[in-house]
Amino acid sequence: MKHIYVISTKKLKQMFIIFTALLFAMGMAYVERDAIAVFTQGKAKEPQAIYKVDTKEKKVALTFDISWGEVRPGPILDILKKKNVNNATFFLSSPWSQRHPEVVKRIVKDGFEIGSHGHKYDYYSKYSDEEIRTQIGKAHTILTELTGKKPNLIRLPNGDYDKRVLEIANDMGYTVIQWDTDSKDWLNPGVDQIVKNVVSNAHPGDIILMHASDSCKQTHLALPTIIDQLRSQGYEFVTVSQLIAGSQVKLQEVN
């Protein structure tokens, strides 16, 4: 019985070694599978929209959407010039741009970046693929003709998009830009509130949403204070393109 007991112990040891080796092999296979999955996911191009940049540098992008009116853009451009803010991004709807080519030319002359705000001001996610392409394409043609430069950034009307819209925009050479701080100037909540909405939420790498349409009646009144307070906190103003160049962007993914 003693001899049998010794043989059983050896077998148990062998079985333990084999079992341990199997576990190790399975673990390695699992790790390799995960590594392959991560590598594959990194290669896959998923529809994404940029809303901020992950950086420790105190840089923010002031962005202005314009869809209608002719009263507000001038004062806002005057303030930016007076405050020596040389970098900002304007997202222009193409019908508005056609009606106000002189303002578009001034924005270009002042050295600001121009992005597309689409053609028809509507919810593009409800459109067919063909109509989405038509709306983005019309705006692209018009803005290129007016500015002499092809825009490659787009902020969709109403900030509305889904996976299809993002995929089509990307296929057409556009990067979709959202925002992380909303001034809510479109609500006309009062100058002090607009300032608070921006300054209290601004952070390094922030994309700040503002408007230069006539319906936003308080933006030009709040803007000087916003600029002064952000500068006093050490912030530098850059365009969206400057902000995202060579930086780790924060993306909004749509399933």
The catalytic site residues sit at: 65, 211
Helical ranges in the chain per DSSP H? 2-43, 73-82, 94-99, 101-109, 129-147, 163-171, 191-199, 219-232, 240-244
CA distance 27 to 30: 5
Sign, CA torsion 160/199/206/92: positive
Chain centre to alpha carbon of residue 22: 47
CA distance 88 to 111: 9
Closest CA to 148 of 89, 119, 107, 93: 107
Helical ranges in 100-218 per DSSP H? 101-109, 129-147, 163-171, 191-199
Query: Could you tell me if 126 and 92 are in contact, meaning their C-beta atoms sit under 8 angstroms apart?
Result: no
Q: At what angle do helices 163-171 and 129-147 cross, to 10 degrees?
A: 40
Paired residues of 248 in beta bridges: 54
CA distance 64 to 68: 12
Please give the structure tokens belonging to residue 153.
């950034």
